[in-house]
Amino acid sequence: MRRPTTALVFATVLLTACAADSDSSPSVASAPQVTFSTTTATTPTTLPPDSAGTVTSDSTTDTTALALTADQVAFAPFAGDLPSPVDLAWRDGDSALYIALQGGTIVPVRDGVAGSPVLDVSSIIVSGNEQGLLGLAFHPTEPLAYIDYTNTDGATVIAEYAVAADGTFDPASARTLLTIDQPYPNHNGGNVEFGPDGYLYIGMGDGGAANDPDRRALSVSEWLGKMLRIDPTPDGNKPYTIPTDNPFVGVTDARPEIWSVGVRNPWRFSFDPATGDLWIGDVGQGEWEEIDLARAVDGGGRGLNFGWSGFEGTHRFNDDQSMEGVTMPLFEYQHGDASCSVSGGAVYHGSEVPSLAGWYLFSDYCSGIVTALQATDGTLTGQVELGTVSGVSAICAGPDGALYVLSLNDNAVYSVAAA
């Protein structure tokens, strides 16, 4: 795994691209694959940096086309003293933003001040590099929360906790939904999010090492290398329910939890609350990073094949993996002197920077460049580099549509603000 130079204990987290990943497994699994004949391969558009773009604001608030330029946007300090922040979530009726720290705690931040942890799972996880407490999501209607962490055996665990009115988690209420063995310590994914349909989506990396050595990402008998979708409501003696419209329900030898296949390490993904579109920042292998877009009007990613490891971005990779039915990324960028690993983000719907409304923001962990993308009808129509933040792990949305940039190197969270 490529390791950025830093003195921070956890700053070699998860995101680093894998030109230097070790591949200790020579085997290639013969698990079943499927042909994604209903998916149309498309060619992404890549615009030059800082190209001019226009955006139409959220139609519920403003329909005026506004030009976006980098000098309109700033990254304002929001909260500090947060060791290795990796995720941010919020719940209705609560003024706090909850920050998940890779070392195993969840901390509420109110008015820019971090409070005492509401949950501490540090004793049951392994942390550092690409492991630890990696994701947090609150149930949209119930006093429940869900976390994604790496247990002491190195497996991914998705667990549910009851949440009290004051925001504290009840450790005694912990209920494990999924435990997924990890063959290697990297490419764990880690994101959990509720979609607009009320179901829980889980991003799973391909299992690690390098080059998808066991060809897991396109195998429908594997959870690894997938976007999963479940209803966390128990089903009899089963800890969760499978939505009946999941694309592989009833398919022989397929995992019914699978929503999409062919991702390498979807470290951060998000849903646009205005459109329901699914945006995925998928970490590349050694040369290309990608942003995938699954539009709600086209099924929101249902049954899509995002290409790995037949492709890295739009570029052919493992020749023994199928080329058929691949949905190509909306956007890709090549590694250079500074770039190495995409940190996925979210769509801005805040009020402070009107020209940014409807743009998707992401960053690169090594370069720190925060980039805004605009898509119209599934086609890239704008790209603007907004500035830099050191060691970005994620860009997450708050309840009012404002965005927050989480920095591993600074142990801090910044808000996206007007310059």
CB within 8 A of 206, min separation 6: which ones?
187, 212, 216, 217, 224, 225, 263, 264, 265, 308, 309
State the pLDDT confidence band at 45, using cuts at 50, 70 and 90: very low
Between CA 95 and CA 228 the distance in angstroms is 30
- Determine what percent of the chain is predicted with pLDDT higher than 90: 84
Q: Tokens 């292998």 appear where?
A: 285
The answer to whether the peptide bond before residue 363 is cis (omega within 30 degrees of 0) is no
Mean predicted lDDT score pLDDT of the chain: 88
Identify the weakest region by mean pLDDT among 53-62, 254-263, 312-321. 53-62
Query: CA 334 → CA 6, 13, 127, distances in Å?
Result: 23, 21, 29
Calpha distance 207→38 (Å, rounded): 27
**CB burial of residue 108 (10 Å; 0-12, 13-18, 19+):** buried
Structure tokens of 126? Answer: 């392994």
Going from the C-alpha of 5 to that of each of 13, 84, 261, 286, the distances in angstroms are: 12, 15, 33, 18
> Poorest-confidence range of 51-55, 65-69, 251-255, 405-409?
51-55
Alpha carbons 382 and 373: distance in angstroms, whole number: 6
Residue 275 pLDDT exceeds 50: yes
**Worst-scoring range by mean pLDDT, 21-30, 132-141, 148-157, 310-319?**
21-30
Q: How far apart are CA 172 and CA 167, in angstroms?
A: 15
**pLDDT over 50 (residue 56):** no
CB environment 219-231: b (16+ within 10 A), e (fewer): bbbbbbbbbbbbb
- Token pair 């003195």 in the structure block, residue: 7
> Rg of the Cα trace of the chain?
20
Position 39 pLDDT exceeds 90: no
The C-alpha atoms of residue 417 and residue 165 are separated, in whole angstroms, by: 30
Mean pLDDT within 303-312: 98
Alpha carbons 51 and 280: distance in angstroms, whole number: 22
The superfamily (CATH) of domain 79-353+392-414 is TolB, C-terminal domain (2.120.10.30)
Phi-psi domain of 34 (left: phi exceeds 0; alpha: psi -120 through 50; beta: other): beta
Q: Does residue 277 sit in helix, strand or coil? A: coil
Predicted confidence band of residue 143 (pLDDT cuts 50, 70, 90): very high
What pLDDT does 21 receive? 65
* pLDDT tens, position by position, 115-126: 999 999 999 999
Q: Note the pLDDT of residue 62.
A: 43
Task: Enter the DSSP assignment of 39.
Answer: P
**Is 33's pLDDT higher than 80?**
no
Band (pLDDT 50/70/90 cuts) for residue 244 is very high
pLDDT band at 70 (very low <50, low <70, confident <90, very high): very high
Supply the pLDDT for residue 336.
Answer: 86
Question: Mean pLDDT lowest for which of 86-90, 318-322, 336-340, 352-356?
Answer: 336-340
* DSSP notation for 376-410: ETTEEEEEEEEEE-TTEEEEEE-TTS-EEEEETTT
Q: What confidence tier does 337 reach under pLDDT thresholds 50, 70, 90?
A: confident
Q: What are the Cα distances from residue 236, in Å, to 159, 256, 412?
A: 18, 17, 43
